[in-house]
Amino acid sequence: MSFSDSDPLLLLSDYTLRAHNTFGFDARARWFCRIESPDQCIAALHDRRVAGLPHLVLGGGSNVVLTRDFDGIVLLVALAGKRFVREDDAAWYVEAAAGENWHAFVAWTLANGFPGLENLALIPGTVGAAPIQNIGAYGLEMAERFHSLRALELTSGQTVELDAAQCQFGYRDSFFKREGRDRFAITSVTFRLPKAWAPRAGYADVARALEAGAGETTPQAIFDAVVAVRRAKLPDPATLGNAGSFFKNPVVDAAAFEALRAREPQIVSYPQADGRVKLAAGWLIDQCGWKGRAMGAAAVHERQALVLVNRGGATGAQVLALAQAIQHDVRERFGVELEPEPVVV
């Protein structure tokens, strides 16, 4: 992997971000710069035209709600490259630049004989965004395959390398969503893919898709099954603006869950290793009657209540108002607080 440090710096003014967020909101940036090398990033931040202005780092824009124009500089991370790093007796190590498309990277690992990420197929966004959100799906979180990352500290211009402990991964959470927010631009991520591969095929939807296929349980078969399930259940952002699952699945303690189950015997739940219980946010939203409902051009998807969509012309503020109405109803009925997954700007 190599990054060129000699590319000219191009700052664009009054730039629409419609193509750089999967909701398709027509928010505008006062300044915009496509970043193809770490040095470009530092040069952009030190340009006299943006002195003193706030900055926003964007990748694929698949986990952001732009509620307004951004009166600062937007840095679009477009660093490219992926490579096999090394191996030991237990694992292969592969690295990808932050601007690489996540799904394409997962497909590349399988094509090169490095399984382990197949359950995370078709998750929108870039490699650099994956650690920020600690993306997860169908029984696997990215943190389980993470080794380390490199990032630019934007104030000092220094490159830092962080391991899993330093990234403080949690459920759809990391250091970069909390104390590290707006401080760093991730430039590359290295993954540790165990040689002792074992399938993660316990989710009913994935198991059914595997049965409908060739009946094999190989990394490629799981990849194909996950892709089929996601395409059947989730709208394509290219045709219907959305950011995937909008809310985290809430986790409650055992006592709160038993009280809920006494009132709602059909509640969908998943026991956790620490004794707490994860609830299905989509089920809670559906029970409150929100699936398929709209507030103007902002709506809840008719097949998946976790997904909020832009039917055309909605603003980020309108989607946020819809989310808050859903949160209110779930809180009133179940006494449970739903937390949004996307970052609100």
Active site (catalytic) residues: 172, 245, 341
User: What is the spatial distance between Cα 98 and Cα 174, in angstroms, rounded to a whole number?
Assistant: 16
Instruction: Classify 107 as helix, strand or coil.
Output: helix
- Distance (Å, whole) CA 344 – CA 342: 6
Query: Are residues 240 and 260 in contact, defined by beta-carbon separation less than 8 angstroms?
Result: no
Burial of residue 50 (number of CB atoms within 10 Å: 0-12, 13-18, 19+):
middle
Is 122 in contact with 227 (CB distance < 8 Å)? yes
What is the 3 state secondary structure string of 246-315?
CECCCEECHHHHHHHHHHCCCCCEEECCCCCEEECHHHHHHHCCCCCCEECCEEECCCCCCEEEECCCCC
Contact 22, 33 (CB under 8 A): no
Measured CA angle at 22 (ends 17, 26), to 5 deg: 35
Q: DSSP code of 37? A: S
Centre a 10 Å sphere on the Cβ of residue 238 and count the other Cβ atoms it contains.
9
Sheet arrangement for strand 277-279: 251-252, 277-279, 269-271
